[in-house]
Chains A and B, each alone.
Chain A
C-alpha cells in the first residue's frame, strides 16, 4: 500500500508547505528586518525587534497577557472540576458532556457578542438593576480586565471539562468507597483521593485552556475595549494601525515561543504525548 499512501499525502503536504510553513518562514524573515519609511520592511538585518518586545511598554502587555491567562485558567479549573465530577458520576454522561461542548462549537464571535449584550452600560444586567432601583448609575461591567477574563473563562471552559472528565471517568469507584468506609468525610475524600488521582487531567486541562488564552485576540479586543490588552492585540495593531510588520512579526514569534515552551514543559513533565 506504500505507493498509494505516498500519493495520498501529496495534497495535504502541498497545502501545509504553501499555506502554513512558507507563511511562517516569511514571518521569521520579517522579524529580523528593519521597518521602512512607508510601512515596508528592508535592510539592514537586525535583532533589534526582539529586544523591543521587552521594552517596558511592551513587557507590560506581555505580563498582563500572562496573568490574565493564569487567572482565567485557574478559574476554569475551579469551575470545571465540579462540573466534570458531576458528569463523570451521572447516568447520562454523553448527554451532559455534549451539552458542555455544544456552545463551544457555535459561533465564538456571537458568544462574545452575547456577553456584550449583557454587560454593556445599556445592557441587560445594568437595565435590570437600574429599573429595580438597586443601582443609580450603570456598573462598569464591560471594557475592562474583568470582562476579558469572564469571556476567556466562558470561551474555554469546555477545554478544561473534557480532559478532567476523561480522567475522573476512569477513576475506580472502589477507591472512593474505601475512603468512605474508612470514615473520610465527602470533602476529605474529594481533597485527599479524587483530586490527587486526577492530576493528569488537571495538567492537560490547564494546558488546553492556557494556550488559547495566551494567544487570545478577539476576546480582549471586543470585551477589553479599545486598549491594547494582550499580545494578540499588539500583533494585530502592529500589522494594521502601526504598520510595523517587522516588530509585529517579532511579537508573533515570541508569542509562539511562549506557547511552545508551555507545551514542552507540560509534555516533559507528563512524559508522554498530549495530542
Chain B
C-alpha cells in the first residue's frame, strides 16, 4: 500500500487538473480544431476584440464587486451578532440557503421579483442580478468570518470596555482589526462565487445584464470556440490566483491566533 497510494494520488490529481490544463493548452492552438497546429495568441486577441465579451466581463466585474462588498459588510456584522448571542432563526436560514439547490434559489428569486414588479414599474436587469448575488453570497461571508471569531478571545474586548472604550470603539479598535484577514478572505470568496454563477444569474438577468458565464454558456452550447478556451484559461487562472490569496489569508488568520 505504501507504493500504491502515491501512484493513485498522482492519477487522482491528474483527473482533477488535466481537463483544465488541456483546455488551457489548446487555447494557444493555431487551428480551430482539436488538432495541434502550432502556437498562437490569436484567440486571446480575438476574445479581447469581441465587444459582447468585453461588455459581459464588465458586467460580471460590477456585479461581483458590488455584491461581494455588500454581502461581506452585512455578513461580517451578522457573524459578530451571531457570535455568542445566538440568532438561531438567522443562522438556520443562512444554512438553509447554503443547502438550497441553485436552481431553486434562482426560480424563487425570479418568482419574487416578478411578483414585486406588479406593484413597481421596474424590470429585470443588473440590479436584480446584484440583489440575487448578495442574497446567495451572504451565507459564505458569515461562515468565513464566524470561523475566525471562534478563535477570538472575548476577554480582549472586555479589557477594552474596562479601560473605558464604548461598545462601538471596542468593536472598531479591537475586534475588527483581528477579523481583517477573514473579512478580506470572505470578500474574495464572495467575489469568486458571484463571478462564476450562471444558474441563478441567467434566471434573474434582464436586458443589458449579460454576464461572462452567460456568454460562455451560450458559446459552449453552440460548440467549441477557441476564443472561449482562451477566456476559460484566463478566468481559471485568475480565479485560482484569487482563491490562493484568500486561502493564504485564512491560513495566516488561523496561525495568528
**How near does chain A come to B14, taking the closest CB pair, in angstroms?**
11
**Residue A27 CB within 8 A of the other chain:** yes
A9 with B87, Cβ < 8 A, contacts A23-B108, A26-B112, A123-B224 known: yes
CB < 8 Å: which of B8, B78, B104, B236 contacts A8?
B78
Contact A110 B236 (CB under 8 A): yes
Contact at A102–B134, with CB atoms within 8 Å?
no
**B79-109 CB contact bits vs A (8 Å, 1 = yes)?**
0111011010010011111111111110111
Within 8 A of A (CB), among B215-235: 216-217, 220-221, 224, 228-229, 232, 235
Give complex CA distance A228, B9 in Å.
35
B163 at the interface (CB under 8 A from A): no
B247 to chain A, nearest CB (A): 6
Whether A19 pairs with B135 at a CB distance below 8 angstroms is yes
The answer to whether B103 and A235 have CB atoms under 8 Å apart is yes
- Selected from B101, B107, B239, the residue in CB contact (under 8 A) with A107 is B239
Q: Report which of B110, B157, B171 forms a contact with A239, defined as CB distance below 8 A.
A: B110
* Contact among B6, B20, B138, B203 with A114 in the assembled complex (CB-CB below 8 Å): B20
- B232 adjacent to A114 (CB under 8 Å): yes
With A and B bound together, what is the CA distance between A24 and B110 in angstroms? Answer: 11
A166 at the A/B interface (Cβ < 8 Å)? no
A46: Cβ under 8 A from any B Cβ: no
In the complex, what residue of chain A is closest to B221 when comparing beta carbons?
A222
In the complex, what residues of A have CB within 8 A of residue B13's CB? 99
A49 at the interface (CB under 8 A from B): no
B120 within 8 A of A: no
Question: A-side binding surface: helix, strand, loop or mixed?
Answer: helix
Residues on B with beta carbons closer than 8 Å to the beta carbon of A101: 247
Q: Mark A12-27, 1 if CB is under 8 A from B, else 0.
A: 1101100111111011
Contact yes or no, B99 A239, CB < 8 A? no
Q: A5-B85, A12-B90 are known contacts. Are A249 and B216 too (CB-CB below 8 A)?
A: no
**Which chain B residues lie closer than 8 Å to A27 at the CB level?**
104, 107-108, 111
Q: How far, in whole Å, are A260 and B101 apart by their CA atoms in the complex?
A: 11
Q: How far is the CA of A106 from the CA of B189 in the complex (A)?
A: 11
- In the assembled complex, the CB of A90 is this many whole angstroms from the nearest CB of chain B, namely 8
Classify chain A: how many residues form its interface, as a range: 35 or more
B62 close to A (CB within 8 Å): no
Q: Which residues does chain A contribute within 8 Å of B87, judged by CB atoms?
A: 9, 13
Partner of A21, one of B1, B19, B20, B93: B93
| CB–CB A105/B167 < 8 A | no
Most buried by A among B16, B20, B75, B77: B16
Among the 9-residue stretches B38-46, B51-59, B191-199, the one with 4 or more Cβ atoms under 8 Å from chain A is B191-199
Tell me the bound Cα distance from A223 to B171 in angstroms: 49
Flag if B171 contacts A4 (CB, 8 Å): yes
Are A86 and B9 interface neighbours, CB within 8 A? Answer: yes
- A162 interface contact, C-beta 8 A: no
Q: How far is the CA of A94 from the CA of B255 in the complex (A)?
A: 13
**B15 CB contacts on chain A under 8 angstroms:** 79, 154
**A217 in the interface (beta carbon within 8 A):** yes
CB distance from B4 to the nearest CB of A (A): 8
Q: How far is the CA of A272 from the CA of B240 in the complex (A)?
A: 34
Asked if A111 is an interface residue, CB under 8 A from chain B, the answer is: yes
Q: Say whether B122 faces chain A, with CB atoms less than 8 Å apart.
A: no
- How far is B4's CA from A83's CA once the two chains are assembled, in angstroms? 11
Q: Does A173 contact B (CB under 8 A)?
A: no
Asked whether any CB of chain A lies closer than 8 Å to the CB of B244, the reply is yes
Do residues B78 and A11 form an inter-chain contact, with CB atoms below 8 A? yes
The distance in angstroms between the C-alpha atoms of A211 and B99, with both chains bound, is 8
- Residues in chain B near residue A100, CB distance under 8 A: 16
| Between-chain CB contacts (< 8 Å), 18 pairs | A8-B81, A10-B77, A23-B109, A83-B8, A86-B8, A98-B247, A99-B16, A107-B239, A109-B217, A113-B220, A114-B19, A114-B20, A114-B232, A117-B229, A124-B22, A217-B101, A235-B107, A255-B104
6 nearest A-B pairs in the assembled complex, by CB-CB distance: A215-B101, A12-B78, A19-B135, A23-B108, A23-B112, A9-B81
